[in-house]
Amino acid sequence: MENTDARAAIADVMARYPDLTIDGLNGHRREDFNERRAALLSESGIREFEHARCWLSMVPRRTSPNRDCDSYRIKHVIEHWVGTYVANGACIAAALSLGMAISMCPSGINAWLGIAGQRKWPAEESVTV
């Protein structure tokens, strides 16, 4: 995905989810809301979004969110897969840009993602980022 395409995809998600920040959902509850929101569109935010989108695009989807697959857990899986940091908000934005079902976790910042369980996740050897 071109950087400008990724930026546009993130901006579209942000327009639909006005409380989404680099940290996750419900960003209005955190300090520096505007800065945390702008961080999603930064160079590092875009790169993290692209890593998350790449991994998530290889995982089979579910029609409903999977309560075993919250965004915070999945961001760590993606980090391990790609070998670099990925923000929770970038993971959520990537899922939403792919049209995945999500629902807010009780924490308010994380989201359950509509993806298949761990047995169907891509192998570490499939890194092509």
Residue pLDDT, tens place only, 76-85: 999 999 999 9
Pick the closest to residue 40 from 29, 54, 55, 25 (CA basis).
Answer: 25
Q: Are 120 and 60 in contact (CB under 8 A)?
A: yes
- What was the pLDDT predicted at 124? 62
Q: What is the mean pLDDT of residues 101-124?
A: 89
Whole-model pTM over 0.85: yes
pLDDT, tens only, 4-29: 799 999 999 999 999 999 999 987 77
28-76 residue pLDDT tens? 777 899 999 999 999 999 999 999 999 999 999 999 999 999 999 999 9
The predicted structure's pLDDT at residue 2:
65
Amino acid identity, residue 108? G
